[in-house]
Chains A and B, each alone.
Chain A
């Protein structure tokens, strides 16, 4: 009888790239038993997914190479088995779901085909596979599943797609389910539903669940034990409560310290300040689709207004209409009394200086063929009245230092920087025009928690030094709690509630806001247990 259902012992994996050998994981050991949930926690590049890929035989060799170690499943070393034997285990005994279900489902085949395929690949007859597929779709809660079985992945919502992935993975009742960031791309309320579904199914089938995540909240919600990884090595293991309450390793301490949502909430700015931006009844329709309906809000000088809501709630449309990247259908947006919506192109050009935007993904929003100097100084080229050309270089140096980058790096290209550094470049670019208002569209969402904290600190500092206002669009509530003065909650294109941050978080009035709060995950396992109770209560009230 083997000690554990699945055990990884002393696993080391290298990747041989043109720039040299990368030690992806070093001497990693952990184990997983039936009915248990183990979380592997780590930031991007920590190697948290590598051992799972090794279990599923998903590491391409070359460039990958398993240097040493063994993976014991049911007492047998997977790394010594041939490809066919491992194929027979994949999907049948060990199944896996992934972060982004849209790209992980084949876009050109129906979901029915894709779910049945996992069974037919393991020699289940076709008719039986079809029947089981219908059963599974019903179990994971796909509405109208008898018809939807012949629909394609793009015809489902993000949450439904992840349900479909789960149905697929569980088709053959595997002993182990590996979930690689299963809820990262989903809205908080959907995330809570998916995690609840995973837990239910785990209890039903008694499988072992391996959860790979960067989110301590997810760990607190579902994990029994947690393995913390940093730069390819395990730095700490223990129960979820142990690791959160009494982290031993400095890295874990730093990680837990960086988690937002625990600090003081900002007091509202004083009354009687004249708003810089007044939005009244702003509306945007795309054909018959209402993206934004009758949105009204104000922004004071030096204030951070957060806009929260789930995907499709109209947050980004609001930002785009304000910046005139989209033209509003009706309504007005008064910037110091002048209506942005009705401005001519030349008036708008003047004003663009004062309202700048920072986008979500700095990899996409920075031109990869322009150096940092070109990117930042382009602003001066477009608005030549700001600065004579002779002074550009000094100003770029200043801006880079202001956002915490080395001025000496200004001739490098975006790909030579890390994600957090790239977002700093994007901020430096926005600051080059000395704006009064910066619109941040999910500006820190793609960043790791510790990097996120640094960027937020930077934004805070810039606000104090320069009196900037922020319109901060985010889906991450703890972050908003720490950063915003006021919060605007949006749902299906409408503003459902707005008010000072303390009021929204401590005393939300609308059901939607309360649901949103209840669904958001707290890194403290005890707080999270409390939230679960509250959530169940809300659900029962709804029934």
Chain B
């Protein structure tokens, strides 16, 4: 197990370095930030000074080495726009996104497991129809559309919840509700399929022959076996939320990492973009390792 974790950490670090190199040069392709930050009629002198301060005059490769040597000391540079360390801005936003992702995924996982299991227990029954309906919505309705409709209905017409921003518990309801739909529809289907297999397995037959009651047959015997493929999908979906739910965060003015990233790209605030990508990448690597550990916890046959 220890050597497995060590290997995974090294592999993750290598991917991370590759990612940083890629993003560094790609982001430089978007153009010179000087034009964006200084007024159109700024003098050549002030343009040069701006370039000098932010190290934009050096050849790209030199800029890259400066960046990397700072990075080794966990210095991601200053945000041009915000005049604060890029990492501080990113971490602040990331905490918001992390909360949003954890709450949403917890709700999604819990409800998808219950509904998916009940749907599998009675294929074609009442719960199965609900599950199919939810999946259809999740797969076919784009989240920006749901977000806007939700604002119109619940904020504008009914006035139950605020349209955007943060501050109270009410502010969380719409973003979570909108982010919930797509992963829920997907995971319900995976749980359902996996549970149908598990419920028709030989060990469930044994449990019935033993006189085990229905509820433990579903939630003790079948579910734990059915969870392995489900966890993979949960991890995948959680990763896309951690990346920043860009559209949803923008629509609801939610100060998460997705919104920060979009803003910084538009503002050519390279340091922030780089830091944001770095932080979310680390978060996703950590989550993947957690999922691998969870596999081994759920299934004693898996040993690393």
Contacts and interface: CB of A to CB of B under 8 A. Distances in A.
Given A58-B205, A104-B206, A88 B211 contact: yes
Contact of B201 (A57, A90, A103, A154): A103
Contacts of B220: 109
Given A98-B205, A105-B206, A106-B203, A87 B211 contact: yes
A6 to B, nearest CB: 15
Interface in B35-80: none
Contact of A117 (B210, B225, B300, B301): B210
B171 interface: no
B210 A106 contact: no
Contacts, number: 74
Interface string A92-116: 1001101010011111110000000
Contacts of A57: 208
A453 interface: no
A60 B283 CA distance: 46
A269 interface: no
B266 interface: no
Given A96-B209, A121-B212, A104 B300 contact: no
A91 B211 contact: yes
Interface string B227-260: 0000000000000000000000000000000000
Given A98-B205, A100-B202, A103-B201, A108 B211 contact: no
Contacts of B221: 106, 109
A82 to B, nearest CB: 13
B129 interface: no
- Which of B201, B206, B210, B299 has most chain A Cβ within 10 Å? B210
B211 A118 contact: yes
Given A152-B300, A152-B301, A154-B301, A104 B205 contact: yes
Contacts of A72: none
Contact of B212 (A58, A108, A117): A117
B299 A107 contact: yes
Contacts of B206: 96, 98, 104-106, 165
Nearest to B205: A58
Interface residues on B, range: 20 to 34
A108 B299 CA distance: 5
B21 interface: no
Contacts of B299: 107-108
B28 interface: no
A87 B216 CA distance: 13
B2 interface: no
Contacts of A98: 202, 205-206
Interface in A147-175: 152, 154, 165, 168
Contacts of A106: 203, 206-207, 221, 225
Given A104-B202, A106-B203, A107-B225, A91 B300 contact: no
A90 B203 contact: no
B213 A121 contact: yes
Contacts of A91: 209-212
A168 B208 contact: no
Contacts of A118: 210-212
Nearest to B228: A108
B298 interface: yes
Nearest to A89: B211
A122 B211 CA distance: 8
A90 B209 contact: yes
A57 B208 CA distance: 8
A152 B225 CA distance: 14
Nearest to A56: B209
Nearest to A108: B224
A165 B202 CA distance: 13
Contacts of B203: 103-107
Nearest to A84: B213
A105 B225 CA distance: 12
A95 B209 contact: yes
Contacts of B213: 87, 121
Given A107-B299, A108-B300, A152-B300, A58 B209 contact: yes
Contacts of A89: 211
Looking at B202, B203, B206, B208, the one whose CB has the most chain A CB atoms below 10 A away is B206
A108 B301 CA distance: 8
Contact of B211 (A104, A109, A121, A154): A121
Contacts of A58: 205, 208-209
A58 B221 CA distance: 16
Contacts of A56: 208-209
A90 B301 contact: no
Contacts of B207: 106, 117
A109 B213 CA distance: 17
12 contacts: A58-B205, A87-B213, A90-B210, A98-B202, A98-B205, A108-B298, A109-B220, A117-B210, A117-B212, A121-B213, A121-B216, A154-B300
Which 9 residue pairs of A and B lie closest in terms of their CB atoms, listed nearest first? A91-B211, A90-B211, A103-B202, A106-B203, A91-B210, A96-B209, A118-B210, A104-B202, A152-B300
Interface of A: 56-58, 87-92, 95-96, 98, 100, 103-109, 117-118, 121-122, 152, 154, 165, 168
Given A92-B211, A103-B202, A106-B221, 4 more contacts: A88-B211, A98-B202, A108-B300, A109-B221
